[in-house]
Structure 1
Amino acid sequence: MHLRPSILLAACAAALIAGSATAAPAHASRPAPAKPAAANAQPDISGVWELYPDPFAGDENTFRELPVPGDGPKLREPYASQWKAQRAKRDAALKAGKPLVDPSTQCLPEGMPAIMGAIFPLEILQTPGRVTVLAEFLTQTRRIYLGRQQPALDDINPSFYGLATGRWEGDTLVVTTRGVKEDVRFFEIPHSAEMTITERIRRTGPNLMEDQITIDDPKMLIEPYRFTYGYKRNPTYEMQEYFCDREDPLFKVTSDGTVEMKDTDEIK
């Protein structure tokens, strides 16, 4: 689930609770120092980036779920029917004010490709041989190894973010990710162990960037699933600590697998 209460950054984005998150006090903002130019320098995609346009703009006092990006996946049967039924169930529960539990409610990482959805800011670091993506939400870390070949799938240890390798093609960082755990679900979309995610990340302006994402999974998908995330750089923002606490002081997970506000007596 991809929710964010715009009125309070410390609230959970993935469900009405997604655990209790603690944000560190804000520090004084300061602009990033200028970087010296180099003849063979790679394109600069470093810095703090926020999803743009902001999907929560004008929704300051409500909880809502982001729509599935693009036109949604074209799944094979029976996966298509199963997925649509699950999404309908989740939407109905959300409208009833009792959102369903999801992995984020259990303080689990978003994984790939959800981390790139940037419901909270992302920070990109560029170092020799590596691009590192830091997500403020749940303090997640994703590493992209440059100039490295993808090993055989059997040699990849399945993980939330998979193994990401990248290379520069002109001004575009092309990233291949494999080995995402099968229980990591992006908008609850099922996938097989053979899923491959290809990204084409490039700046589209001085402070704008896009990530064109293609998901290939012939076992599950009739055709590749494509969508694009856009970002805007925020040069004065400093990333905050954001930790998840499963013992949320205000909400609880009920026996039927939904989330609801605790009674006043329980909060005491």
Structure 2
Amino acid sequence: MDNKRIWFSSIFIALFIISFAVPFALCQEVDDEHEFSYDMNSHNGPDHWGEIHPEWSMCNHGDMQSPIDLTHERVQTTSKLGKLDRDYKPANATLLNRGHDMMLRWIGEAGHIHINGTEYHLNQLHWHTPTEHTVNGRRFNVELHLVHESTDGRFAVVGIMYKIGRPDSLLSTLDPYLKVLASTKGVETNVGIINPRDIKIGSRKYYRYIGSLTTPPCTQNVIWTMVNKVRTVSREQVYVIREAVHDEAEVNARPVQAFNNRWLKLYRPDDYQNN
């Protein structure tokens, strides 16, 4: 009888752990991206992401999907959102070629941002070429995503767009590792201490809206903060990032999604409005 109790107890504990772990796992960005592509003509391209796995259905059926066009016609300008409160610090990081992008993952505590009283911890960053978000229909060359997560599993992403110009300092630091990993998918390499505060934003103004992850499973209710200023990268740096993409498509940017009935705000400090 004791053995039966132990057996039932073990099963109960296992099921309890799975019931919490599975929903958490399903909301994460996938690390191995070989199952989907950015080729619009492919059976596993963006129009079909929601058909690949049942838990990816939000990609096709969600009504708050990202990216979007940051159209000035629908923007509400406000000073009430407050400045982007970043509290970052240096931490060890690794670089991983996920097949469709390069991801820098912090191993130690790299700090956090505060939004509406919630603390979102910085987990990783990655790049898309060209930009996924557009501004009045215009795409730029690169988009960087800083992915943050709260203790209860909610996401907040800070996005920075880049055009061709002077080299970006972070990409310059990572250049040797990016070139080595371009031909090696699925290998995670230590790149030492990376300080996220070195990622320059250059503007206090930003767009804010509620959207989703831009890769499967396309989890919704993600708080998006898109920096207003477009920064610069060199043409060679764009080429190095592109080397990470192993499908037939020339891009790793999801098409713009329907805006639907959402709000889009542009934070502008009071001193901007008084000028």
Q: Which category of TM-score, normalised to the shorter sequence, fits these structures?
A: under 0.3
Query: Comparing both structures, which one devotes a greater share of its residues to helix?
Result: 2
TM-score by length of 2: 0.24
TM-score by length of 1: 0.25
